[in-house]
Amino acid sequence: MQARKDNNVQGIDVSRYQGKIDWLAVKADKREFAFIKATEGQTYTDPNFVANVKGALSAGLMVGTYHFLRATSAAAAKAEAAHYAKSLEEIGGAKALQLPPVMDYENNPNGISKTQINIVAKAFLTELERLTGVKPIIYTGNSFASNFDSGLSGYDLWIARYSNTKVPDDQPAWKTWTIWQYSDAGKVPGIVGNVDLNEFNGSLTDLKKRYGKEQDMSNPFDGYKITSPFGMRKHPVSGANKFHRGVDLVVTPADGPINAFVAGEVTHAQMGVSGSGFGNYGIVVAIKDDKGYLHVYAHLSAAGVKVGQQVKRGQLIGKQGSTGISSGAHLHYEVRKACSPQFGYTATEAGVVEPTQYLINYYGQTPVKGDKPVTVRDINVVSKWAESAWAEVTAKEFFDGSRPGASVTREEMAVVVSRLLKYVDQKG
């Protein structure tokens, strides 16, 4: 496999054995990523798991976690994946982290066959991806790696070989490493004793690119559960039929992080006072975007920003809570058309917009760095180039054009494509 490179980004991996870690010191030493031991087997969770994840995240490292595999059957592997996925929920799920979850499969104390090793590995990886929605990567040792067949080469390899000069060996499943754990005896400021040292095959930008989530604006609230949409609804506390001025979103845990959906300037970051435009909203962070709309994050347990501060999209602005009049821990997110008077509050629905559509439009019109622009067009208006084909297929009832809003299923689409192909064949 390939050698180490000077500009490759550096990281560490830790477990309870590193004790209490000063993550700011680790970051200051240019360790940009960390994999943190989460679980092992079907029941064990590392006692420092949550503290390590929170510490590394708050110091600004890119964070992933790993699970030490003990299973010798597919059923046991699935049970281990479930235990790992469940533990990940404590920190907001695998999607809350920048780096993927890891299967640490490195020994074979019960002497199962190579075939069985691959069955166990695939059962764990498939189940873990199903439960977390994130494709895992594989950690293993230089010699144990030879057990894995080429059916696993689609997973990134994180390999251990403690040497600066001897590169990891080529394997049936891999000819390159994605991450190389090149030492188990590293010294890093902020950590007492030895720590494992790792190198990613590329720069920090490359690392972000490889695992960074594409901003998919088809669901601006990815990672949140929407518990109450915008519009008319029965109020959860009063029971009255009332207009809901925003959307209610829930993250886990109850005091989970709230990040800005849109960049802008903080205009309010405290308990909402009655008559201010934020009465009953609890602790409110309000952010004015570049179009003059006000983004309201309500019922927080704490605000993490100050008035006047500029925040970036995705920046941590506070913690979820249930302050004000609230039916439990959630984020009430509302987008107001104006910022004053009364922070743009209106008694009617006139002053607010539907937040999901606002975000989709916002990023469609002004793509920010790293975003894919989203363009939305009215599919009920047939494009010029397709007019005659549309007229023909609707006349033949391949499409039912009388159901505005109805989605075409993949099966319906397949029938159409298949018929079109035959039509083209006949025309020669």
Q: List the catalytic residues.
A: 13, 104, 106
The single residue among 39, 332, 345, 359 that binds Zn ion, judged by CB under 5 A, is: 332
Letter for the amino acid at 89?
E
Q: Which of 300, 295, 296 is nearest to 322 (CA)?
A: 300
User: Cβ 360 to Zn ion, closest distance in Å?
Assistant: 20
Torsion of CA 89, 94, 97, 102, to 10 degrees: 120
- Smaller CB separation from Zn ion, 104 or 248: 248
299 makes contact with Zn ion (CB under 5 A): no
- Smaller CB separation from Zn ion, 250 or 382: 250
Per-residue x/- mask for Zn ion, residues 245 to 274, rule CB under 5 A?
---x--------------------------
User: Cβ 324 to Zn ion, closest distance in Å?
Assistant: 10
Whether 351 and 337 have beta carbons less than 8 Å apart is answered as yes
- Smaller CB separation from Zn ion, 54 or 337: 337
CA distances in angstroms from 31 to 10, 55, 90, listed in the order given: 5, 14, 25
| Residue whose entry in the numeric block shows the structure tokens 């300037």 | 265
Per-residue x/- mask for Zn ion, residues 203 to 242, rule CB under 5 A?
----------------------------------------
Q: How far apart are the first and last CA of the chain?
A: 51
User: Cβ 247 to Zn ion, closest distance in Å?
Assistant: 7
User: Cβ 327 to Zn ion, closest distance in Å?
Assistant: 9
Per-residue x/- mask for Zn ion, residues 164 to 183, rule CB under 5 A?
--------------------
355 makes contact with Zn ion (CB under 5 A): no
User: Cβ 132 to Zn ion, closest distance in Å?
Assistant: 28
Interacting residues of 202 by C-beta distance below 8 A, sequence separation 6+: 8, 9, 210
Whether 262 and 291 have beta carbons less than 8 Å apart is answered as no
Calpha distance 345→352 (Å, rounded): 8
Letter for the amino acid at 371?
D
Q: Which stretches within 133-163 are classed as H helix?
A: none
Piece of 20-28, 122-130, 244-252, 354-362 that binds Zn ion (CB under 5 A): 244-252
Q: Which of 130, 84, 132, 134 is nearest to 105 (CA)?
A: 84
Give me 6's structure tokens. 């000077």
- Smaller CB separation from Zn ion, 196 or 248: 248
> Quick one: the chain helix, strand, coil %, rounded to 5?
30, 25, 45
- Smaller CB separation from Zn ion, 16 or 225: 225
- Smaller CB separation from Zn ion, 118 or 276: 276
Piece of 9-17, 154-162, 332-340, 391-399 that binds Zn ion (CB under 5 A): 332-340
Contacting positions for Zn ion (CB under 5 A): 248, 332
